[in-house]
Amino acid sequence: MFNRRAKHNILKGFKYGRIVIINGARQCGKTTLVRQIAKENNIPYITLDDPQKLKLAQTDTQNFIEFYKPPIVIDEIQYAPELIPYIKQKVDFENIKGMYLLTGSSDFYKSLKVTESLAGRMLHYELFNLSAAEINNYQENIIEMMFDDNLSKLMLFGKKFENKNINDVFTKITVGGFPELQNLDAGIRKIWFQSYLQSRILKDVETFFDINKENKILDLLTILAANTANLLNINNIAKSIQLDFKTVKKYIELLEAMYLVKQIPVYSKNSIKQVIKQRKLHFTDTGLVSYLLNVSESKLINRETEYLGNLLENYIFTELSKESSYADNPAKIYHYRDLRKKEVDFILERADNKIIPVEVKAKSEIKSKDIAGILSFARNFSGKIFRAFVFYSGKELMPMPNNAGLNIYLIPSKFLV
């Protein structure tokens, strides 16, 4: 069993909040985590995967709420949205901390428009697939080390990876972070992903979102996989899949609500522009992307695929997102693109106003042209940069000379395996 780093924050939230909801993709480990929490804290656990309990929750909701008294863990609550108004009434009447710990495999609060009824009553946590730190039981957090005033912690952390190289990153890309897949070979992983899409994702699409165009959803997922780490052009995608713009937009939002993809806003001085400007698309798991694109470990290692750079950038995104989700001081993740089309893969911004631009390169030798986007960002946001990093295929953490006087460092991608 893996030690989930989000557990500490979730327990803290349950101590001080009336309702805690843990959302995340199917099979990311939510059930394992809440079963563990329930056992360790002597809290009853029930799952709505149980047909009898589900029927009771749907048809005799009041009786369900009165029988299964808080504190209680209810797993897979998206199956019975009927419970939400009753839970609201219960927490308003009793008004005590730590009443309901809920899990859901989709952001059904958004899709069913019940956020308002739980406003001020609910603390929300997103559980990602396993991070490299969780798999290897590292206590260090890469986000916290990148933002630390002293880089000595990051340098010391790098000693763990002296026997690693970029090929280890490529291996990790194809495995991804689903807990079940960590010790399975490539053939079994392929069968697992096929089953995952057919029996879990498409089933949820039909059940919770009343959509029965399974082939179109799978086609869309494959097209999105081919465009991961790219700007999201819904018009082009709509034409290629032969659906209208509004339908494709709706389907992408659906996939995001199921925690399969993320839309990354552009960094701007104007928060409104962050919403309306073109977003960048990333998947939440590179193992799934690799399956959809039929990209094997050997293709990455031998650099025999056009998607190598995209997959590497997507992998760095997933690891930074996971580490940030349980960091003491998390960072929001944006991308950057100016009018001259100078780009930065990621802009990390913390609440203390520290900003770190991040570039991802698949090569081991970084030249001045590779940091053009960072320099452009620095000119447009003068004085706001704390430091910058370029993830690369090299072996050492080292400074990158530049004429702008910026603190730019090359950081081996292998630090994230």
Q: Provide the H-helix boundaries in 258-342.
A: 271-276, 286-293, 297-301, 308-325
State the average pLDDT over residues 11-19.
Answer: 96
Residue 213 pLDDT level (bands cut at 50, 70, 90): low
Higher pLDDT, 403 or 314: 314
To which residue do tokens 């899409």 refer? Answer: 197
pTM for the whole structure: 0.94
Confirm if 327 and 141 have CB atoms less than 8 A apart. yes
- Determine what percent of the chain is predicted with pLDDT higher than 70: 95
Q: Is 229 exposed, middle or buried (0-12, 13-18, 19+ CB in 10 A)?
A: buried
Residue 108 pLDDT level (bands cut at 50, 70, 90): low
What are 113-153's pLDDT values in tens digits?
Answer: 455 567 778 899 999 999 999 999 999 999 999 999 999 99
| Highest-confidence segment of 94-108, 120-134, 198-212, 266-280 | 120-134
What are 298-331's pLDDT values in tens digits?
Answer: 999 999 999 999 999 999 999 999 999 999 999 9
To which residue do tokens 């090569």 refer? Answer: 363
What is the domain class of 7-126 according to CATH? alpha beta
Where are the chain's structural domains? Answer: 7-126, 139-416
Identify the pLDDT of residue 272: 52
Rounded Cα gap, residues 411 and 388, in angstroms = 10
Identify the pLDDT of residue 117: 67
Identify the pLDDT of residue 275: 46
144-153 LR contacts (CB < 8 Å, sep 24+): 144/323, 144/327, 144/328, 144/329, 146/348, 146/356, 146/387, 146/389, 146/411, 147/329, 147/331, 147/348, 147/350, 147/354, 147/356, 147/386, 151/397, 151/409
Most distant pair of Cα atoms in the chain: their distance: 70
Look at the alpha carbons of 86, 92, 98, 104 in this order and tell me if their dihedral is positive or negative.
positive
* Residue 338 pLDDT exceeds 90: no
State the average pLDDT over residues 58-81.
Answer: 95
* Residue 276 pLDDT exceeds 60: no
Rounded Cα gap, residues 203 and 101, in angstroms = 25
